[in-house]
Amino acid sequence: MPVILISYLVIINIVSFSMFYADKQKAKKHLWRIPESTLIISALIGGSFGAFAAMKLFRHKTKHAKFYILIPVFMVLHIFIIVTGIIGIVR
């Protein structure tokens, strides 16, 4: 996998993780929240592993069906894309 792609995946997962953490902290303090659509989009564009880790670690959004269904689906999709990309490079 190209270094730029690996860098992107690392950065987007850190960003996604951080967004879930920030939203959890804001929820505790009853402050303005990060829109759910923003959290889902961050997971969709490559941050699914960071989102999943934050959901489990901070117990955030774990009772919302759209999160506990979509985030694992995105993870499977991202694994598929990564694996097919690696297979394509190896051939």
Nearest to 48 by CA among 9, 22, 21, 75: 75
Domain-embedded: residue 27: no
Which residue segment(s) compose the domain that 44 sits in?
Answer: 11-22+35-90
Percent of the chain with pLDDT over 90: 82
Mean pLDDT score, 45-60: 96
For residue 91, what pLDDT is reported?
67
Tally of domains in the chain? 1
Half-sphere exposure of 4 (CA within 13 A, CB side): 0
Mean pLDDT score, 73-91: 88
**pTM for the full model?**
0.90
Domain-embedded: residue 5: no
